[in-house]
Amino acid sequence: MAMEIGEAEFDAQVLERSHELPVLVDFWAQWCGPCRMLGPVLEQIAEGDERFVLVKIDTDQAPRISARYGIRSIPAVKLFINGKVAAEFVGALPGGSIRKFLDEHLPSPADDHAQAGRAKLAAGDVAAARTAFEAALGLDAAHAGANLALARLALDEGDAEAVERHAEAIRWDAPEHEQAEFLRKALIFHAELQTLDETTARTRLGSDDGDLDAWYALGCAHAAAHRWEDALQAFLESVMRKNKYRDAAAHKAMLIVFGLLGHDHELTDAYQRKLQIYT
């Protein structure tokens, strides 16, 4: 059965609950004929599918929630996952189309393992996270999230072969593909340390702070250890002195770090502006 809620229960019953189990919300109204047709279809599907819970909201009784989610035509159905709208449709679709919609957008068993892996990783349990990500790949070898996570772990370990393998498994049209390409490029940070390690780079800079190879190697050492601000500053020191040195290696390294951090990261914004001054 569907749970009928009002505005006061929305955050708890939809947003918070969707972090544990996806919530399908049916925005409807008593006067809406298509809504009365769709409601029983949704309830029948929900009774036989334990992957989600069904919630109904009468738009006439919940104007603020309706405005918040831009409800202009009903019935409107939105699928909430992890507190956000993951997918939606408008109109009284037939049961087959609704089941297809759910199959396309509800987390799969592989997604569940990947989510568990991310939780373990956030808790600092790398071994358990790796096991969960590998379990996801056991169910779906092309699972983009699990492959990306394992590629990141492999990069931290300097395992170039594993980075390439997991990055290659991510489809080009997956949202994770761009990040995978940056992980591939980031292998250069570990490779550089085979030529000039951090200790030697610091020693050389102590003697000559204009040593561009040392600045670049120091930046790579910081990046390999995820000391992102230190890495960007070291690369910038090289760019400031000679931007085109070694085919603009330090400049390119900064672009890789920006890609790893993401466009909306505060360090990306700050150092992109600094980089523009010298390029």
Give catalytic residue positions: 32, 35
CA distance to 22, 97, 243, 265, per residue, from 211 (Å): 55, 64, 13, 29
